[in-house]
Amino acid sequence: MIDMRLMKENPEPMRASQRARGNDPATVDAAIAADDKRLETLQAFENARAEQKAFSKQIGKASKEERPALLEEAKRMSEKVKTLEEAANEAATAAKQAAMVLENQILDGVPSGGEDDYEVLSQEGTPIRDFAAEGFKPKDHLDLGLGLDAIDTDRGVKVSGSRFYYLKGVGARLELAILNAAIDTAIAHGFTPMITPCMVSPATMSGTGFLGEHSDEIYYLPADDLYLTGTSEVALAGYHTDEIIDLSAGPKRYSGWSACFRREAGSYGKDTRGIIRVHQFHKVEMFSYCRPEESVEEHQKLLNMEREMLAKVELPYRVINTAAGDLGSSAAQKFDCEAWLPTQQRFMEVTSTSNCTTFQARRLNIRYRDENGKTQTCATLNGTLGTTRWIVAILENHQQADGSVRVPAGLRPYMGGLEVLEPVK
């Protein structure tokens, strides 16, 4: 949620943010008007209630003859107060709804536009291989996975439907290696590891900003009134709901390991082969609570940790500054790390990290005390440190001519020292 007081003092930056996202800037003025109406009706209710309280004191002092008329007037005033209270409540609800429509105000430096309007910040990692010079045509991750007996999509479809799969043997070990390496990296940087719930309440899901335009991505369980999470970011954001947390020693940092669930609505026909875009996967997510003025520095820390993990698995990748229209409602800025996919000759997102400034914490009522003891709203940030999709890039980039796959040195300790994944005869 937006800081309404600041926006009303200077609405133009928010209008510009809405335009950069491809949204209607008139929503800013609608939210301001709704908040003005809320304040107006609230003042009218409070004035009437104060008048009622003052009037009620006269009744006890009145004579027997005066009392009937005063009681009649008190009844009229009570009805008026009740009507004004209902109007104030309706205006407050309308103001909240108008504010919830607004997406987070983007930070300076975020490109305007949509999915294809990103800015490439750098290209990193092992140089992209020339497979032709090595004398063979690269296989895609599914063919490699089948040869290694590591991925089984046919039985995943049989048991659960499209976009489900089994990881088995070295495939299961590879996923666990990625996730355990991510947890160890997080711990080394002072993050508290957590196994998080995969189901959350509507209040938590809404508070993190996931029930907006893309709510059709989320699995809902109506019998329980719970949502399946597509990232442990949601559960980690909700962890300190309605709390005042201690940030005197610096940011609070958590790292959540969870299964994740996404409907992939609207993605039909895209990345349907293999395990690039699936309904269920595992992920280790970083999450930070910090003071707003520390959020830009903290964002760079999360990005550097993602770079550290990508170096461990020796993937060629690039970092992009995501355009405003592709941020999602809660992010004020997002950096994606995209690994090279040899068989598709393109970069594929493997991590992202977002600075959500105070947007989520304001919705979830998460605060801290400043140096003067006054409560302030926290900033929240998140970032992916390892996920199932990494298997795709690792298999394709580290494959060898005979169908075997070299295990990156950074994952070997988590694979029992295994250096090469060999095809099953």
pLDDT profile of the chain (425 residues), mean per 10: 88 95 94 95 93 78 74 85 94 92 94 94 88 95 97 96 96 98 98 98 93 83 96 97 97 98 76 90 98 98 98 96 94 97 95 97 96 96 98 98 97 97 94
Positions at the binding site for ATP? 262-264, 278-281, 349-352
CATH number at residue 75: 1.10.287.40
The 10s digit of each residue's pLDDT in 179-206 is 999 999 999 999 999 999 999 999 999 9
352 catalytically annotated: yes
Q: Which domain holds residue 208?
A: 119-421
Per DSSP, 271 falls in state S
Predicted confidence at residue 268, as pLDDT, reads 64
Same domain, 150 and 13: no
pLDDT of res. 60: 67
The predicted-structure confidence for 247-277, as pLDDT tens digits, reads as follows 999 999 999 999 999 998 665 667 778 999 9
- Of the residues 49, 67, 129, 277, only one is catalytic, namely 277
- Domain assignment present for 416: yes
Count CB-CB contacts under 10 A for residue 33: 13
Q: Yes or no: say if 256 and 194 are a contact pair by the CB < 8 Å rule.
A: yes
Q: Is 369 a residue of the active site?
A: no
Residue 213's pLDDT is: 66
Based on the fold, state whether residues 340 and 369 are members of the same structural domain: yes
- Point out the annotated binding site for L-serine: 231-233, 262, 285, 382, 384
* Structural domains of the chain, count: 2
**Which of 101, 131, 152 corresponds to the end of one domain?**
101
Residue linked to tokens 């005033």: 77
Residue 396 · residue 342 · CB < 8 Å: yes
- 281 and 399 assigned to the same domain: yes
Q: At 362, which amino acid appears?
A: R
Annotated catalytic residue: which of 173, 253, 362, 389?
A: 389
In a domain, 221, yes or no: yes
86 and 131 assigned to the same domain: no
Based on the fold, state whether residues 66 and 135 are members of the same structural domain. no
d(CA 371, CA 346): 49
User: Which residues participate in the annotated binding site?
Assistant: 231-233, 262-264, 278-281, 285, 349-352, 382, 384
In this predicted structure, what is the pLDDT of residue 58?
74
In a domain, 106, yes or no: no
Question: Are 293 and 153 contained in the same domain?
Answer: yes
**Is residue 254 one of the residues assigned to a domain?**
yes
183 found inside a domain: yes
Q: Is residue 289 part of a domain?
A: yes
Stated length of the chain: 425
Who's near 27: CB < 8 A, 6+ residues apart? 18, 98, 101, 102
Same domain, 260 and 313: yes
Claim to verify: residue 35 and residue 173 sit in the same structural domain: no
User: Residue 262 catalytic?
Assistant: yes
| pLDDT for the residue 277 | 93
Q: What is the CATH number of the domain that holds 255?
A: 3.30.930.10
Same domain membership, residue 308 and residue 368: yes
* Same structural domain, 18 and 155: no
Is 277 annotated as catalytic? yes
d(CA 170, CA 250): 40
Q: Which of 124, 308, 349, 422 does the annotation list as catalytic?
A: 349
Clarify whether residues 124 and 83 are in a common domain.
no
Active site residue 307: no
Active-site residue identified among 163, 262, 362, 367 = 262
Q: Domain boundary residue among 75, 101, 127?
A: 101
Is position 114 within any domain? no
**Whether residue 94 is found in the same domain as residue 126:** no
Domain assignment of residue 150, yes or no: yes
Name the domain boundary from 101, 130, 159. Answer: 101
Residue tagged active-site, from 295, 329, 352, 354: 352
